[in-house]
């Protein structure tokens, strides 16, 4: 399973404070098994990606997020270290990959973006090879050509986009992509459960799901923390902890990213939340495959 | 356009003698415009790949060729330099890529292999986006899952495989892949010509096409040379030239790889040749789209 | 020889307008020989680097520039394309490398930085192996440990730093690094000329040299353009040209980066200029080796 | 600490049987913490390298080993997987790196070679920055120019070479490199111990040390196994175990590479062994710093 984090803040945060410096960031947990809060997770060294929305609106990318991806491990990447020190953003996605499907290439690193929508996935679509053709057939010509890599996750992104009324719309029936994937699995007699923790944003709102298509198994973990604060710990190490002051930040992640695990709230299984910076989340319950 | 070379020899040749050392090898021409025999060609720095058949039969790869690919330029690759010095093979494919479609990733570097078949392409399928879906639909479930990258060339390989009676067969109707691609272009009202110089081998015979789907335009160049010989040139530079002795080697390439251009025989347009080590080639004339 | 550009502007410029989009940018000239204004130059595919000063002051890097480097060619780098679209800076260095010495690694890509000083080099130190030990011996313990790669250029940076009164000082005797290198060459009986086009900045002022250690040979080219303007050309292509309006931008580069070559002013040989945004430059004449 | 393996066999072994397939190979232990036999070791994802002697003697490399290195993790490297399946060698070095010093680049990946000598290191030279200059000063001009990267290990290789009577000699005083490093540490008042597990070969004999410069601390682990055998385990997984038959293979590694840990013999601390294929080893006791 991969390690993921999504953050939204009213004031832009320095990427280094989220990704490269905190002792329990997704990158440092990926690197050092002694720091891992969940020891069952394997190593995440198969590339990584970071996406963020900034202040520069370009002719080509417009309001699209900036993406930085690499096939070398995140914990030893000079470019990431420098960019993270020099970049601030109010909305950041980070993803450290552990390969389940797809080769090691930047095309296969999360997150992906299309227009201003950004997407990443933690989990896997069960026996994806059996439904790949039907999933592709359901896409419009435009969206069929969007994926550049060969992962189940990137095709799930295309499917997700296809369920939006249009890519600029803020509202849509959030259960539809899940229902469609369940339907495809049913038709292909797939019984192995799919783990569909999706993270989507349009640059202002984050939507995240914690979902498994079976009611007998456990979904991949998903937790959230409101109002975290980053600070230098006494020993010199950088740490992140829950803030006393009410800074308007919400983090959603695959594992607790602060030493105080208990601060983190577990997202209920088979739920899709719309995270707002006020930390009030709307939860939608999603139907399971069986 | 890319630079390609395919070589078959009765005695194994050292890869360095073909790829990294000769002054006019595809790699050195790619690097140094002063060496280019065809100045119209652009730079080829978008990755490369080498495939060769060796003596080791493994449990996993069996008689499949060994492939080495890289996304950094071929002319400055320490691994390639060392492997080329230390490897001999009787049948070698080399490909230096200049991107027309597909991102920079090892998945997108030629050649590709499936079982013991190896394939590479010089050219491009016109407006591939318009026929991608139909081409995929024509493939069996097995072959649909073969491509790992996102180039027209790799899907052409899958199409090619689909026209073989079976991947172990030596004979098949060689015109079929071209006819199928023409048919798809016709249905999609594509008028821009496709350049389909394909190179295929099963480890013992090389088949190469020089093809363009229009009769009004010129196909990408394709030349062959029998009995080349490599030697140290007086000034210290390594060179390749036509041999007086009858060494049983045949080279097929996108451009002359020796200083003496005139030694190279141009393959006729819209022809598919089956190159044998005896240098007798069987030519099959292919129909054009229009 | 490498391709280099240094730009200073009163208003931050989008990196894409300098690097990735203009038809004659150093990156596009490196890629497409048909665009090259100087056809004698070889291909520049051995990695690249971009450095810029931004608005974010970090705990670790402080006022240091942000650097992005890659060992894959600049013309096909998704990260560069996205970052260039999303980043604005008032002072940018860009360098596209053609290897003369040193292997292909990010450590060997220009520019380098130390504290707030950034440096890049176009040219080469003649027979560097013969003076490497003495050059290293002249450095302080601190500066001896700065270089991470194995190029003559990075050691020239360390030497350059050693001649600054301190790295925060704005003034120093600009001829000293050149004199020191000439002295080392003299002691080692090196007669081949060194090409020392250095580019240095502290984030507010750019200093650039056009220098060759012999009076019988020509230095590598160095040109400057004041008040350039970027615009969409009629045919849809992006172009850069001399501005009518007095935008306060100065560009210094290894070759003309606009179609109108004549707009560019050649820097005199063996001169070191201090480029200010007002386009008044101070020129210092440097002594030659012989 | 890195993971290392050195193997010598009378009959060439397939690299895949040593590196990519066995469940407890250095690569698979690096990847999957559940397979790790020594859980204290951190992740090894900072590049890797493999070196082997083959049958092809080239004009440039002669009897030098072939090296393949990469900065992406070893457990997901298509080139390594294919090359390992297709290559056999009687003498192989493998090294999976966990960075302690030096950036992530192929130049910094072990093993290195010079003429026919190949070298790798597991451990670290304490406070190397303090002795780097003196170590370099002790080298001949020729050896001073050998290192291309910036690690303590590669400079240790240069030092090692400098103690050989000549690089073609088989005999030398094996304690000298250790004594020299201890002397440098003493002069620089370095008290932190250096871990110097060196592996050296000339293509026919392997020499390996298990050394720490302090008598109060423990050296990095080093074990050996004679006559291992690789076979398919019942469940389908590939495994390596001690052979009943007397196949002439000796493996020296940083950790047990078979499930049966007890088969492995621990090398005594501060010992240098010369491993012969007959499994008779000559042990030399090395003096400690203090």
B105, B128 in Cβ contact below 8 A?
no
C-alpha pair distances (Å), A144 with each of A162, B5, C280, D45: 10, 34, 55, 35
Residue A283, pLDDT > 90, answer: no
Q: How high is the pLDDT of residue B39?
A: 43
Q: How high is the pLDDT of residue D283?
A: 64
A210, A195 in Cβ contact below 8 A?
no
B5, B110 in Cβ contact below 8 A?
no
Distance in angstroms (rounded) separating the CA atoms of residues C2 and C43: 9
Beta D88-96 vs D3-14: how paired, if at all? Answer: antiparallel
Q: Does C71 touch chain B (CB under 8 A)?
A: yes
- Per DSSP, D62 falls in state B
- Per DSSP, C156 falls in state H
As a whole number, mean pLDDT of residues B14-21 equals: 89
Question: Least CA distance to C48: which residue of chain B?
Answer: B72
Residue C38, pLDDT > 50, answer: no
Interchain CB distance below 8 Å, C71 and B72: yes
* A197 DSSP β-pair partners: A122
Among B95, B115, B105, smallest CA distance to B2 is for B95
Strand C48-52: give its sheet, edge to edge.
Answer: C66-70, C48-52, C88-96, C3-14, C249-253, C223-226, C265-266
Instruction: Give A176: exposed, middle or buried? Use CB within 10 Å, 0-12, 13-18, 19+.
Output: middle
D120, D199 in Cβ contact below 8 A?
yes
Show the tokens assigned to D229: 């055998």
**Chain D: partners with 3+ C-beta pairs within 8 Å:** A, B, C
**Chain A: partners with 3+ C-beta pairs within 8 Å:** B, C, D
Alpha helices in chain B (DSSP H): 15-18, 26-31, 78-86, 132-137, 141-144, 152-163, 176-187
Q: How high is the pLDDT of residue B129?
A: 93
Q: Does B58 touch chain D (CB under 8 A)?
A: yes
Q: CB pairs below 8 Å between C and D: how many? A: 42
Q: How high is the pLDDT of residue D229?
A: 67
Q: Which of B45-59, C63-77, D165-179 has the lowest mean pLDDT?
A: D165-179
Residue D4, pLDDT > 90, answer: yes
pLDDT tens for each residue of A174-205: 778 898 999 999 999 998 999 999 999 988 88
The position carrying tokens 């020392």 is C196
Interchain CB distance below 8 Å, C78 and A70: no
Q: Does D132 touch chain C (CB under 8 A)?
A: yes
Instruction: Give D205: exposed, middle or buried? Use CB within 10 Å, 0-12, 13-18, 19+.
Output: middle
pLDDT tens for each residue of A151-168: 999 999 999 999 887 666
As a whole number, mean pLDDT of residues D111-122 equals: 94
Residue B43, pLDDT > 60, answer: no
pLDDT tens for each residue of B76-90: 899 999 999 999 999
C44, C96 in Cβ contact below 8 A?
yes
- Per DSSP, C116 falls in state T
Sign for the pseudo-dihedral over CA of B167, B172, B178, B184:
negative
Instruction: Give B30: exposed, middle or buried? Use CB within 10 Å, 0-12, 13-18, 19+.
Output: buried
Residue B234, pLDDT > 60, answer: no
Distance in angstroms (rounded) separating the CA atoms of residues C218 and C212: 7
Q: Read off the pLDDT band of A51 (50, 70, 90).
A: very high
Among D205, D50, D27, smallest CA distance to D113 is for D50
Chain C nearest CA to D133, separation (Å) = 8
CA dihedral B170, B176, B181, B187 (to 10 degrees): -150
Query: What share of chain A has pLDDT > 90, as a percent?
Result: 42
C-alpha pair distances (Å), D245 with each of A142, A265, B119, D229, D259: 63, 58, 43, 9, 18
Q: CB pairs below 8 Å between B and C: how many? A: 51
**Whole-prediction pTM value?**
0.88
Q: Which of residues 244-283 of B touch A (CB under 8 A)?
A: none
Interface test with A, best of C79, C81, C118 (most A CBs within 10 A): C79
Residue B144, pLDDT > 60, answer: yes
Interchain CB distance below 8 Å, C107 and D107: yes
Strand D88-96: give its sheet, edge to edge.
Answer: D66-70, D48-52, D88-96, D3-14, D249-253, D223-226, D265-266
Q: How high is the pLDDT of residue D236?
A: 46
Q: CB pairs below 8 Å between A and C: how many? A: 70
As a whole number, mean pLDDT of residues A86-90 equals: 94
Chain B nearest CA to C90, separation (Å) = 30
Q: Does B129 touch chain A (CB under 8 A)?
A: yes
Instruction: Give C237: exposed, middle or buried? Use CB within 10 Å, 0-12, 13-18, 19+.
Output: exposed
Q: Read off the pLDDT band of B214 (50, 70, 90).
A: confident
Question: Strand, helix or coil at D214?
Answer: coil
In whole numbers, what is the pLDDT of chain D averaged over residues? 82
Q: How high is the pLDDT of residue B165?
A: 73
C-alpha pair distances (Å), D65 with each of B21, B86, C83: 19, 8, 41
Residue A148, pLDDT > 60, answer: yes
Question: Least CA distance to C72: which residue of chain B?
Answer: B72
- Per DSSP, C62 falls in state B
Sign for the pseudo-dihedral over CA of D263, D268, D269, D271:
negative
**Chain C: partners with 3+ C-beta pairs within 8 Å:** A, B, D
Q: How high is the pLDDT of residue B59?
A: 72
Q: How high is the pLDDT of residue A5?
A: 93
Across the interface, of C39, C43, C99, the residue whose CB is closest to B45 is C43
Q: Does C144 touch chain D (CB under 8 A)?
A: yes
As a whole number, mean pLDDT of residues C256-268 equals: 85
**B197 contact partners, CB below 8 Å, separation of at least 6:** B4, B121, B122, B123, B208, B209, B210, B211, B219, B220, B222, B254
Beta D249-253 vs D223-226: how paired, if at all? Answer: antiparallel
Chain D nearest CA to B172, separation (Å) = 29
Contacts of B104 in chain A (CB under 8 A): 106
Interchain CB distance below 8 Å, B85 and D54: no
pLDDT tens for each residue of B108-120: 999 999 988 999 9
As a whole number, mean pLDDT of residues C201-230 equals: 86
Contacts of C14 in chain A (CB under 8 A): 56, 58
Contacts of C73 in chain B (CB under 8 A): 45-46, 73
Distance in angstroms (rounded) separating the CA atoms of residues C213 and D61: 36
Q: How high is the pLDDT of residue C262?
A: 85
Q: Which residue has the higher pLDDT, B64 or B34?
A: B64
Buried/exposed code over D221-242 (b: 16+ C-beta within 10 A; e: otherwise): bbbbbbbbebeeeeeeebbbbe
Question: Least CA distance to D82: which residue of chain B?
Answer: B66
Q: Which residue has the higher pLDDT, A62 or B213?
A: B213
Question: Strand, helix or coil at D36?
Answer: coil
Contacts of C78 in chain B (CB under 8 A): 103-104
C-alpha pair distances (Å), D66 with each of B86, B138, B205, D18, D161: 6, 44, 29, 16, 19
Query: What share of chain C has pLDDT > 90, as a percent?
Result: 43
As a whole number, mean pLDDT of residues D155-167 equals: 86
Chain A nearest CA to D17, separation (Å) = 22
Q: How high is the pLDDT of residue D76?
A: 81
pLDDT tens for each residue of A242-258: 665 556 788 899 988 88
In whole numbers, what is the pLDDT of chain B averaged over residues? 82
- Rounded to 5 degrees, what angle do the CA atoms B20, B24, B27 make? 45
Distance in angstroms (rounded) separating the CA atoms of residues C213 and D261: 64
pLDDT tens for each residue of A129-138: 999 999 999 9
- Rounded to 5 degrees, what angle do the CA atoms A140, A144, A145 make? 125
Q: Read off the pLDDT band of D277 (50, 70, 90).
A: very low
Residue C225, pLDDT > 90, answer: no
Residue D223, pLDDT > 70, answer: yes
As a whole number, mean pLDDT of residues C227-236 equals: 59
Distance in angstroms (rounded) separating the CA atoms of residues B84 and B66: 12
Question: Least CA distance to C86: which residue of chain A?
Answer: A56
Question: Least CA distance to A149: which residue of chain B?
Answer: B149
Residue B66 appears among annotated catalytic residues: no
Distance in angstroms (rounded) separating the CA atoms of residues D224 and B286: 62
As a whole number, mean pLDDT of residues B232-261 equals: 71
**According to the 3-state scheme, what is the secondary structure of chain A?**
CCEEEEEEEEEEEEHHHHCCCCCCCHHHHHHCCCCCCCCCCCCCCCCEEEEECCCCCECCCECCCEEEEECCCHHHCHHHHHHHHCCEEEEEEEEECCCCCCCCCHHHCCCEEECCEEEEEEEECCCHHHCHHHHHHCCCHHHHCCCCCCCHHHHHHHHHHHHCCCCCCCCCCCCHHHHHHHHHHHHCCCCCCCEEEEEEECCCCEEEEECECCCCCCCCCCEEEECEEEEECCCCCEEEEECCCCCCEEEEECCCCCCCHHHCEECCCCEEEEECCCCCEEEEECCCCC
Distance in angstroms (rounded) separating the CA atoms of residues B125 and B157: 12
């Amino acid at each position: 399973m991969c390690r993921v984090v999504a953050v939204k803040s009213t004031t832009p945060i320095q990427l280094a404070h989220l990704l490269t410096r905190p002792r329990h960031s997704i990158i440092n947990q990926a690197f050092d098994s002694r720091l891992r809060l969940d020891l069952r997770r394997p190593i995440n060294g198969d590339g990584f990606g970071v996406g963020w929305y900034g202040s520069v609106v370009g002719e080509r990318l417009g309001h699209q997020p900036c993406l930085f991806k690499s096939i070398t491990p995140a914990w030893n990447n000079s470019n990431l270290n420098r960019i993270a020190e020099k970049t601030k953003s109010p909305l950041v996605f980070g993803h450290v990959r552990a390969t389940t499907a797809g080769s090691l290439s930047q095309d296969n690193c999360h997150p992906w973006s299309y227009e201003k929508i950004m997407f990443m996935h933690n989990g896997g679509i069960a026996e994806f090879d059996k439904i790949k053709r039907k999933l592709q057939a359901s896409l419009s010509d435009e969206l069929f050509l969007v994926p550049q890599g060969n992962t189940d996750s990137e095709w799930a992104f295309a499917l997700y986009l296809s369920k939006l009324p249009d890519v600029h719309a803020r509202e849509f029936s959030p259960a539809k992509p899940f229902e469609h994937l369940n339907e495809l699995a049913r038709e292909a007699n797939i019984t192995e459960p799919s783990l569909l923790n999706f993270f989507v944003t349009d640059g202002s709102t984050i939507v995240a799901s914690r979902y498994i298509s079976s009611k007998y198994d456990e979904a991949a973990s998903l937790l959230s923390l409101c109002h975290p604060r980053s600070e230098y710990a006494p020993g010199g190490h950088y740490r992140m902890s829950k803030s006393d002051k009410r800074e308007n930040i919400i983090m959603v992640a695959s594992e607790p990213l602060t030493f105080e695990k208990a601060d983190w709230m577990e997202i209920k299984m088979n739920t899709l939340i719309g995270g707002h910076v006020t930390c009030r989340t709307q939860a939608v319950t999603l139907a399971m495959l069986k």
